[in-house]
């Protein structure tokens, strides 16, 4: 007879005893921007790492520096397909998904499939291996928020059939499925809601504001600001984000946690900051605001501060300097437009 579902326990199910051996982590989407930085951190922390990626938006260039490392393995596979791995797995980090407007507007069905079928397969792997599972969710689950800043208790304001709906709803479904596995199967699960993050290894043509502005500024081309430029964002450097994600996985908290930088600025202010940091001759041009584009986006990180003792450490000026240097080197090498 089917076991009845257990009520949600905010402290999570009792952790299983970890073996006294090298921990094994599976990272779906590990050849992507954030996934590859997570891979770096895990290897630094002594994990064996298995990356699963179909390279639709990821690139082997992001993980090529680990070639030959016996602790690293890359498997070219779509996470929506059946996942079979020999040997033990301790942690599954589900980062696979298109994550920029250009990608999920071009690949709406694939985006929905990786959020649904891909999450189901990754959860199934974690359940089979008795591994802990972390879902990389997003601030997009809040949609165009009517509450500011956004706490984890806010349910969001999402248009399910709008141009961003394929990404927003895929992540909302992925969160629901993750909690269902937690409640029904007692799986150890974690959910991180990632706010705007930037840094080296972003694709110059991926459509997100940081690479778009930096690429334009480096070429002395106009920076496009939508609407009147008063809509706000907050920007977290990738190393800060990955530290927060790692702490969350190693915690005992199964409910969603915002990870992002709460320092808020308008798009116009950010464009001006990029132009100054690059030393560019670019000007700013204005275009109509896209449909369903959030007017405000800023995380309430109280939960992360209290539970994980986490705060972002890298100021925007420092993060921009590192990111601009990386993009400048890619342009010089002629690889700035690579996916």
Q: Which domains does the chain have, with CATH numbers?
A: 24-198+235-259 (3.40.50.720), 209-233+263-297+315-333 (3.90.25.10)
Measure the CA–CA gap between 250 and 307, rounded to whole angstroms: 11
Cα 285 to chain centroid, rounded? 29
pLDDT tens by residue, the chain, 339 residues: 334 344 454 444 444 545 568 999 999 999 999 999 999 999 999 999 999 999 999 999 999 999 999 999 999 999 999 899 999 999 999 999 998 888 888 999 999 999 999 999 999 999 999 999 999 999 999 988 899 899 999 999 999 998 889 999 999 999 999 999 999 999 999 999 999 999 999 998 888 899 999 999 999 999 999 888 888 889 999 999 999 999 999 999 999 999 999 999 999 999 999 999 999 999 999 998 877 667 778 999 999 999 999 999 999 999 999 999 999 999 888 754 433
Cα 153 to chain centroid, rounded? 20
Catalytic positions: 167
- Cβ(198)–Cβ(238) under 8 Å? yes
Dihedral, 35, 300, 250, 62 alpha carbons, nearest 10: 10
């Amino acid at each position: 007879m089917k076991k009845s579902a257990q009520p949600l326990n905010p402290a999570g199910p009792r952790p299983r005893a970890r073996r006294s051996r090298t921990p094994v982590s599976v990272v779906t989407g590990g050849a992507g921007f954030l996934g590859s930085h997570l891979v770096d951190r895990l290897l630094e922390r002594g994990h064996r790492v298995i990356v699963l990626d179909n390279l639709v938006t990821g690139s082997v260039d992001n993980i090529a520096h680990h070639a030959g490392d016996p602790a690293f393995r890359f498997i070219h596979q779509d996470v929506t397909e059946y996942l079979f791995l020999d040997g033990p797995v301790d942690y599954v980090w589900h980062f696979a998904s298109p994550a920029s407007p250009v990608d999920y507007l071009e690949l709406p069905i694939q985006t929905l499939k990786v959020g649904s079928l891909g999450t189901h397969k990754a959860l199934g792997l974690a359940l089979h291996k008795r591994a802990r599972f972390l879902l990389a969710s997003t601030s997009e689950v809040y949609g165009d928020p009517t509450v500011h800043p956004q706490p984890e208790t806010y349910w969001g304001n999402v248009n399910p059939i709008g141009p961003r709906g394929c990404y927003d709803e895929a992540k909302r479904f992925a969160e629901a499925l993750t909690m269902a596995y937690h409640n029904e199967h007692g799986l150890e699960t974690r959910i991180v809601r990632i706010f705007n993050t930037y840094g080296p290894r972003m694709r110059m043509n991926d459509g997100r504001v940081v690479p778009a502005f930096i690429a334009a500024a480096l070429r002395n081309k106009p920076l496009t600001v939508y609407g009147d430029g008063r809509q706000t964002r907050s920007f977290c450097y990738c190393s800060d984000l990955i530290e927060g994600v790692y702490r969350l996985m190693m915690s005992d908290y199964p409910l969603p946690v915002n990870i992002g930088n709460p320092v808020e600025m308008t798009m116009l202010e950010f464009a001006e900051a990029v132009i100054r940091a690059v030393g560019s001759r670019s000007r700013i041009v204005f275009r109509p605001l896209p449909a369903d584009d959030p007017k405000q986006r800023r995380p309430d990180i109280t939960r992360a501060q209290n539970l994980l003792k986490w705060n972002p450490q890298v100021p925007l000026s420092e993060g921009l300097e590192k990111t601009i240097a990386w993009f400048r080197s890619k342009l010089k090498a002629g690889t700035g437009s690579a996916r």
